[in-house]
Amino acid sequence: MKTSNLKLAFQKCKQENRPALLTYTVSGDPSKKKSFEILKIISKHADICEIGVGHNCNTGDGKQIQDSTYRAIKNGIKIKDTFTTVKKFKKTKNAKPCILMGYYNSVIQYGENRFIKKCKQVGVDGIIIVDLPWPENINFSKKCKKKFINFVQLVSPTTSKYRMKRIIKDSHDMIYYISMLSTTGGELKISTKEILKNYNRIKKINKSKNIVIGFGITSKSIASLKKADGLVVGSALCKEISKSLRNRQNPVTNVNKMVSMLKNKIS
């Protein structure tokens, strides 16, 4: 079986002795055109790009990502537009592996098999479905694997050891560790030391799996978490877009500066 683009990205980062930097931005925010421009420019610094699929009931997300999502929906973003963006992005010079992140209702509405097939056609490397947990996601995960698409399993501080072992066993090339019990963008409620302690406990179960940490990661906390395989920053970028729009500044330039700064902190 061909090595996935996600796995290759993690291998490259390990050779450079640093964690992978994963960015999250919402497709269609602040506009269809600008969201593509943001993706294109930040891919010079990011190792993996997560792209949010707009949903009007994003229960796992905090204010910053909700604001981004509502702007995208207001702009009339549709899932077909997101697929077009991915296809276009994957043809650019610095294109990085991309992961679609969204909610199961969007997949159901589009049609499960049709959704996976389209992901394959446009070059999606991975899929995260926030509200499709293990074991309910087993069949969907298998369908993704058949198309050589990574289905990313989620684990959290409350995942029991029994479930953890089985989730890791069923996982593909990447696992997403939710650092704390909160929506995205929440203030870190525990120390980074405690997060790494929990992370290492999971890592010990299978050291060959790439495990990334997400939720609450900012420019202040990212450097102290660099022992992880990868770190996800999303809310901070969405917040920067909102701030840029309020100040009538160019969000493409400002988000790029932030991603460049985050990369420097973990390099």
Within a domain: 136: yes
Question: Identity (one letter) of the amino acid at 181?
Answer: L
Cβ proximity of 49 and 97 under 8 Å: yes
In a domain, 251, yes or no: yes
CATH number at residue 63: 3.20.20.70
The better pLDDT of the pair 246, 63 is held by: 246
266 inside domain: no
Asked if residue 132 belongs to a domain, the reply is yes
**What is the spatial distance between Cα 256 and Cα 42, in angstroms, rounded to a whole number?**
5
Task: Report the number of distinct structural domains present in the chain.
Answer: 1
Range of the domain at 86: 5-10+19-181+189-261
3-state secondary structure of 52: strand
For residue 231, name the pLDDT band (cuts at 50, 70, 90). Answer: very high
Model confidence at 180, in pLDDT bands (50, 70, 90)?
confident
Burial of 93 (C-beta count, 10 Å sphere; 0-12/13-18/19+): exposed
In a domain, 31, yes or no: yes
Residue 170 lies in a domain: yes
Question: Tell me: the pLDDT tens digits for 8-40?
Answer: 999 999 999 999 999 999 999 999 999 999 999
- 92-107 average pLDDT score: 95
Q: Is residue 267 part of a domain?
A: no
Distance, CA of 29 to CA of 71 (rounded, Å): 6
Please say if the pLDDT value at position 175 is more than 90.
yes
Q: Please list the active-site residues.
A: 50, 61
- Output the pTM of the full model: 0.95
